[in-house]
Amino acid sequence: MIKKKIAIIGSGFSGLSSACYLAKHGYDVTVFEKNSQVGGRARMFEAEGFKFDMGPSWYWMPDVFDKFFADFGRATNEFYQLKQLDPGFQIIYSPDETLAIDADFNSLVQKFESIEQGAGKNLRKFVANAEYKYQISMSDLVYKPSHSFLEFVKWNIIKQVLKTNLFSPLSNEVRKLFKDTRLVKLMEFPVIFLGAMADKIPALYSIMNYSALKQGTFYPKGGMVEIVHGMKKLADSLGVTFELNANVEKIEVKDNRCNGLTVNNTFHQFDAVISSADYHHTEMNLLAPNWRNYGSEYWEKKVFAPSSILFYLGINKRIAKLIHHNLFFNTDFEKHADAIYKKPEWVKEPLFYVCMPSKTDDTVAPDSYENLFILIPHSTELESDEDLIERNFENVLSRLELYCGEAIREHIVYRRDFSGKDFKSEYNSFKGNAYGLANTLMQTAFFKPKMKNKKIGNLLYTGQLTVPGPGVPPALISGKIAATEMDKILTRFEI
The residues of the shown chain that bind ligand FAD, judged by CB under 6 A, are 9-15, 32-35, 40-42, 55-58, 247-248, 276-277, 281, 308, 310, 375, 427-428, 434-436, 463-464, 470-472, 475
Q: Which amino acid is at 314?
A: G
Alpha-carbon torsion 417, 421, 424, 426, what sign? Answer: negative
Helix/strand/coil for 243: strand
**HEC readout, 386-405:** HHHHHHHHHHHHHHHHHHHC
Q: Rank residues 58 and 112 by Cβ distance to ligand FAD and give the closer one.
A: 58
CB of 36 to ligand FAD, least distance (A): 10
Q: Rank residues 177 and 354 by Cβ distance to ligand FAD and give the closer one.
A: 354
Q: Rank residues 120 and 473 by Cβ distance to ligand FAD and give the closer one.
A: 473
CB of 471 to ligand FAD, least distance (A): 4
Q: Rank residues 281 and 399 by Cβ distance to ligand FAD and give the closer one.
A: 281
What's the DSSP call for residue 449? Answer: P
Rounded distance, CA 472 to CA 57, Å? 10
Asked if 126 and 173 count as a contact pair (C-beta separation under 8 A), the reply is yes
Which residues, in sequence order, are CB contacts of 410 under 8 Å at separation 6+?
none
C-beta neighbour count of 157 within 10 angstroms: 16
CB of 434 to ligand FAD, least distance (A): 4
User: How far apart, in Å, are the Cα atoms of 446 and each of 127, 204, 275, 391, 451?
Assistant: 26, 15, 19, 41, 10
Q: Rank residues 33 and 252 by Cβ distance to ligand FAD and give the closer one.
A: 33
C-beta neighbour count of 26 within 10 angstroms: 12
CB of 78 to ligand FAD, least distance (A): 21
Q: Which of 151, 121, 192 is nearest to 451 (CA)?
A: 151
Q: Rank residues 169 and 432 by Cβ distance to ligand FAD and give the closer one.
A: 432
CB of 306 to ligand FAD, least distance (A): 10
CB of 181 to ligand FAD, least distance (A): 25
Q: Which of 381, 279, 263, 367 is nearest to 315 (CA)?
A: 367
CB of 482 to ligand FAD, least distance (A): 11
Q: Rank residues 247 and 395 by Cβ distance to ligand FAD and give the closer one.
A: 247
CB of 42 to ligand FAD, least distance (A): 5
Asked if 41 and 255 count as a contact pair (C-beta separation under 8 A), the reply is no
Q: Rank residues 19 and 123 by Cβ distance to ligand FAD and give the closer one.
A: 19
Asked if 58 and 209 count as a contact pair (C-beta separation under 8 A), the reply is no
